[in-house]
Amino acid sequence: MPLKWKIILINLFEKRIFVHYYLLLLKKDFMRKKIIAGNWKMNKTLPEAILLVNEICQELKARPELINIKDLEIVLAPPFVYLNECYKLIHEFPNVFVASQNCYPEESGAFTGEVSVNMIKSVGAKYIIIGHSERRSYFKEDYLFLARKVLAALKHDMKPIFCIGEVLNEREASQHFEVIRTQLQESLFQLNVVDFEQVIIAYEPVWAIGTGRTASPQQAQEMHAYIRSLIAEKYGDETSQNISLLYGGSCNAQNARELFSMPDVDGGLIGGASLKVQDFITIIESVI
């Protein structure tokens, strides 16, 4: 074979290998992350918030294994008013971020008392919790309003942590799968695939929130597998494998490891236990 042809063949072969490794790298980047997010809800004064974050930082510094894991993210969601203070305390950690607990979907204007995505982004947050059951029930936030919030978050490159979950009556009437399907279809499944891959979903059965009554690992796994199957149906297998699915609802230092050992549970959205330093750290340790 003439040398010229040999060179062309070698080049092609090398390019193929290059493309192959490039795709592998890309795929690796897309692999779903493990995430532990603490939703502080309406708790703590500013000095208390600073103390809590400082204590969490100290514990993390003493455990470098928790801050050097590429696929683990730790998220703190304090009330709006402390976001920037908390951000300043954590921003040196490569895998610790702050989140707001809510947002308003409009950009700016006469919406007294509301906070826009751009404002949240400007104080250092990277995530926004959207659709928490407390917002759905106390503030009557409906599917469409939540869909608008998700779009607003994505428009500003913020990551929504989108909460879904059934109430006790619905589970007892075996309607939980249907409820979850509707919540996803009506607020998230209008997204294109690129946007959808930015979303983190938190399954929070309402009957487990703040009640001390956790879903069993089997119940959590069953629902997470169902959610992943719906995503696969809508966006394909690869996307469904790339989405992080968190469990929330009375997740604590004692039950976290068993919940996180389930194949489709990628972490947790933690309420009460995220306010106690040692418990929160134990929960983070339970996911790795």
219: contact with ligand 13P by CB under 6 A: no
Give the span between the Cα atoms of 90 and 77, in whole angstroms. Answer: 12
Both tokens of residue 234? 């809508």
Surface-to-core class of residue 11, CB atoms within 10 Å of its CB (0-12 exposed, 13-18 middle, 19+ buried):
exposed
For 186, the enclosing helix (H) or strand (E) is helix 176-187
Give the nearest distance from C-beta 212 to ligand 13P in angstroms.
8
Which of 73, 166, 170, 204 contacts ligand 13P by CB under 6 A? Answer: 204
Both tokens of residue 226? 């169902």
Give the nearest distance from C-beta 177 to ligand 13P in angstroms.
21
Which CB sits closer to ligand 13P, 39 or 242? 39
Q: Which of 132, 134, 141, 170 is catalytic?
A: 132
For 230-237, which contacts have Cβ atoms below 8 Å and span 24 or more sequence positions? Answer: 230/180, 230/181, 230/184, 231/184, 231/196, 234/189, 235/193, 235/196, 236/193
Give the nearest distance from C-beta 162 to ligand 13P in angstroms.
12
CA angle at 211 for the pair 208 and 214, rounded to the nearest 5°: 40
Q: Residue 128 in 3-state DSSP?
A: strand
AA letter at 25: L
Give the number of other Cβ atoms within 10 Å of residue 61's Cβ.
11
Q: Which of 73, 134, 166, 204 is catalytic?
A: 204
Which CB sits closer to ligand 13P, 49 or 235? 49
Which CB sits closer to ligand 13P, 78 or 248? 248
For 162, the enclosing helix (H) or strand (E) is strand 159-164
> b/e for 210-239, b at 16 or more Cβ within 10 A?
eeeebbebebbbbbbebbbebbeebbeeeb
Give the number of other Cβ atoms within 10 Å of residue 129's Cβ.
24
Which CB sits closer to ligand 13P, 235 or 247? 247
Which CB sits closer to ligand 13P, 70 or 213? 213
Give the nearest distance from C-beta 211 to ligand 13P in angstroms.
7
Stretch that binds ligand 13P, among 147-155, 171-179, 203-211, 235-243 (CB under 6 A): 203-211
Site string for ligand 13P, 4-43 (x = CB under 6 A): -----------------------------------x----
Site string for ligand 13P, 236-275 (x = CB under 6 A): ------------xxxx-----------------xxxxx--
59 is catalytic: no
Which CB sits closer to ligand 13P, 100 or 235? 100
Give the nearest distance from C-beta 43 to ligand 13P in angstroms.
10
Stretch 132-151 residues interacting with ligand 13P (CB under 6 A): 132
285 is catalytic: no
Binding site residues, ligand 13P, CB under 6 A: 39, 132, 204, 209-210, 248-251, 269-273
Catalytic machinery residues: 132, 204
